Structure 1
Amino acid sequence: MRALSYPLVGTAVLALLAPGPVRGDDRGVVGGQAVSSADAPWAVALASRDRFGPMRSGQFCGGALVGRTTVVTAAHCLSREVLGGDPSDVKDLRVIVGRTDLRTRQGSELPPKSIWVNPGFDPETNAGDVAVITLSTPVPENYPIAMAQPGDGAYAPGTSAGVYGWGDTIGNGNYADGLRASQVFVLEDEQCRRVYPGGQEAVYQPSSMLCAGVLQGGRDACQGDSGGPLVAEGRLVGLVSWGSGCALPQHPGVYTRISAVAALVQQHSAENLSRPPVVNPQPAAPPAAVAPPQAPPPAVVPPAPPQTAAQGPPQPPAQAQVAQQPQGAQPPGKAP
């Protein structure tokens, strides 16, 4: 997933695969498989060609639509360490909706109307890793996914879940062009406490974090997947936040527990998120896209922030360790 310091930048896609390590040549999540945005319309990409280069639409993190104008993502994706400045300084920041392949102009590129980054986010522990982006244009009513609430049965250990994204597929900078997904399982909190007790790695805090993965390794989110959705039983249960490496045995990924931040998200949303989203297997056409520049300006690589114990050089919000991406800054990688 990510390195132990910062959440993974990029998205990880949900794929219902057979148990056990899975490897392949074309994945966007470690151990994943291709998924269409039509089947996961709530999975979005955060992008800036100016900061991360024109390749792959400038994608650096993931997010999830929980309302027609409300996107949730990881707070670390919008940090100075990742963007090289405040989000307001990134004039071409866009939320890409309905685009399976980042090399195309499919779907829409929507500018944010406002951005709220949780002031309680602790970059040392990764607690409170959530941010809310309000879109300037609403998406179709059948795009959003419902957020899991406290007490939701989807958090039961052993529950199958899917992580979605366009991030690193094998942990060496091999970023996916298309949306990918990988099947993981919700794990016991005690398992993650033993894996991440503190010290050189971050401390797992079950009150605000969720642990999911495959203990034998082989499936996980990775660099460039930070802020992306973890979905179980049709509900958003987590956001890619941090972890140790990508898909390593006995080192599952750690996600922001959505039920712990759902009230905060509602508080900073311009709409009522309590109404169940419309379910439609064939989503309507996305809103009018903001046309990407015909000739994107040269990529500007943000200054590299100091390395943390669990994360490598500053990358777009994703798991701590992020491999370099061509023509621009790298998407954040996972990290505790």
Structure 2
Amino acid sequence: MAKSSRVHFSPRAWEQMRPKSVDPARGMIRRVSPSKQTHAHVENMNLLKHHAADSVATVAPSSVRAVCSRWRTTAEGFCTTGTYSQWRRSGTREFPYQLSLQKNAEHWCGAVILNEDWALTAAQCVEDSEDTYEVLAGTNTLSEGGTRHTVTFISSHEGYDASDSWVNDIAVLKVSPAFPIDGVTVAPIQLPEKDEEVPDNANVTAIGWGKHWYFGQIQDGLRKVDIHIWQQWLCESVWHDINYNVHATQICAIRFKNNKHYDTCTGDEGGPLLYEGKVVGLVSWGHFCGEPPYPSVYTRVSSYLDWITEKTSGSRV
């Protein structure tokens, strides 16, 4: 799943897909020279061989690589992801807390319901304060069903910094009218405990309407993919070798299997990473939407429970 363009390649969409290299606050593309990464890439692939039984065995280093927050394309074209078949359609009532955050009436990001009045998403999704945002609730299909709710107030984390690995990439949204919570088609997400850890190598699930491949489009139907939590030290090591920080308030996940990669991508930003029914992460950033050996990085929700409570006036679930 993913994002960079909108559903159709209109002139406006192409404009949105151009790299915004002069604006780091909106997800600047950072290019990495081959000389700085090739040796580290090979060493980290050796680490990957021991990380999990289904890890990719070998991947030739690219001559040029780029990192993008899910908002932005690479200078060569687009953020990429795996094949279409790696995602599965979700059940009709499987994820009643999932929201489509829409910008100017088009799907833009994922989000989840906190309670009747508030939603949770990534800060990068709501940086453009002059745009009109709303969320679509209670449906798995973007083109039909559900209820629409205007975003009336946005509170992004004060420490959000796109120039430092998109640290503190979290925001809460107040909506009107209130979500019609019925516990069946519309329901609040379960939050983790404060500082709760997800076990290394745990199976987790990501969901969203994002794109699936290089020239793909936003999906009309909600889809899901099962991936694995990475050991924090390994994730930090892989990214550090190309000069990116992975903070303690971030969590890493991806799945490499049979020379394929399973991952989130453009259009999934702000959506949930789920473990045992709890939202443990929010889609934030990665490398070409999952190109090995780099795992994708998520905002670790358990690090922000006090912040969420404060910003929603103590009204979180």
- What TM-score do the two structures reach when normalised by structure 1? 0.66
Answer yes or no: is the 8 Å Cα contact 2:256–2:262 preserved in 1: no
Aligned twin of 1:76: 124
Higher relative contact order (CA 8 A, sep 6+): 1
Aligned twin of 1:134: 174
- Asked which structure has the greater CA Rg, the reply is 2
Cα deviation, 1:85-127, whole Å, max 9, x if unaligned, reads: x1xx223x211101211122x0011012311111210111210
Pick closer, same or farther for the CA change 1:117–1:22 going to 2, 3 Å: closer
Answer yes or no: is the 8 Å Cα contact 2:68–2:288 preserved in 1: no
Structure holding more strand per residue: 2
- Structure-to-structure mapping, 1:1-336, within 5 angstroms: 4-7=67-70, 23-25=83-85, 31-48=86-103, 50=104, 58-80=106-128, 86=129, 89-91=130-132, 93-104=133-144, 106-125=145-164, 126-139=166-179, 140=181, 142=183, 143-153=187-197, 155-197=198-240, 199=242, 202-205=244-247, 207-216=248-257, 217-274=260-317
Pick closer, same or farther for the CA change 1:261–1:198 going to 2, 3 Å: farther
Q: Tell me how many residue pairs correspond in the alignment.
A: 239
Helix, strand or coil for the counterpart of 2:124? helix
AA paired with 1:196?
Answer: W
The structural deviation recorded for 1:22 is: 8.0
Answer yes or no: is the 8 Å Cα contact 2:193–2:302 preserved in 1: yes
The structural deviation recorded for 1:23 is: 4.3
Answer yes or no: is the 8 Å Cα contact 1:37–1:43 preserved in 2: no
Answer yes or no: is the 8 Å Cα contact 1:70–1:270 preserved in 2: no
AA paired with 2:112?
Answer: A
Identity in percent: 25
Tell me the distance in 2 between the aligned counterparts of 1:141 and 1:108. 13
Cα deviation, 1:119-150, whole Å, max 9, x if unaligned, reads: 21011121000010011233205301111123
Tell me the distance in 2 between the aligned counterparts of 1:37 and 1:269. 29
The structural deviation recorded for 1:263 is: 1.3
Helix, strand or coil for the counterpart of 1:4? strand
Structure 1 outlier segments of 4+, above 4 Å: none
AA paired with 1:204?
Answer: V
The structural deviation recorded for 1:59 is: 0.2
Pick closer, same or farther for the CA change 1:8–1:35 going to 2, 3 Å: farther
Tell me the distance in 2 between the aligned counterparts of 1:138 and 1:236. 21
- What TM-score do the two structures reach when normalised by structure 2? 0.70
Answer yes or no: is the 8 Å Cα contact 1:171–1:245 preserved in 2: no
Pick closer, same or farther for the CA change 1:151–1:36 going to 2, 3 Å: same
Helix, strand or coil for the counterpart of 2:174? strand
Structure 1 regions of 5+ residues with no counterpart?
10-20, 26-30, 51-56, 81-85, 275-336
Structure 2 regions of 5+ residues with no counterpart?
4-65, 73-80
